[in-house]
Structure 1
């Protein structure tokens, strides 16, 4: 095998590894997006049925005390969600509390 063929083989191998890594990352992003959508739907169903998750009790306690940041921290600690997801969930809970009053 000459140097030209070896170079082409290395380029092909690197390209194949890059394509496989790209597909893996895309699937991982897709799974996270699907999971977030399922979580939002589950939250809506629980809201409709009037079911309060145990995590919400602590979040509501913080919100009623005007401690939004503590509510987000509590939500993240108990659910393991990202900061953005926790903030959105706490905002939904706060919105429900405002509607109930």
Structure 2
């Protein structure tokens, strides 16, 4: 039974580079599609409004940075690192 578990683990580890390269390929394709979409929107003169970050700014004014990061994540679906960096940029420009 242990041998089967180790064998399965080895197989999974060997498959990781294939999965990683496939994920990178999909990400590059998504980036190209997003770039093309941005060009189309610019050409048509359409501006996409971002999320309303008024709540994030209000929380920062109250000194509630953690709550501001949580609110930013809820509004934008950003990961923790991205949200923290964005909230810090907002806080720096607010001051």
RMSD of equivalent CA atoms: 3.2
Report the TM-score, using the length of structure 1 for normalisation.
0.52
Match of 2:60 in 1: 63
Counterparts in 2 of 1:54 and 1:29: CA distance versus 1, 3 Å: closer
Structure 2: runs of 5+ lacking an equivalent:
1-10, 36-48
Structure 1: runs of 5+ lacking an equivalent:
1-13, 39-51
Question: Per-residue deviation at 1:22?
Answer: 3.4
CA contact (8 A) 1:55 1:75 kept: no
Residue number among 21, 24, 27 corresponding to 1:23 in the alignment: 21
| Higher relative helix content | 1
CA contact (8 A) 1:72 1:86 kept: yes
Match of 2:86 in 1: 89
Match of 1:48 in 2: none
Distance in 1, matches of 2:61 and 2:23, equals: 40
For the pair shown, which has the larger CA radius of gyration, 1 or 2?
Answer: 1
CA contact (8 A) 2:69 2:83 kept: yes
Question: Per-residue deviation at 1:28?
Answer: 4.7
Report the TM-score, using the length of structure 2 for normalisation.
0.55
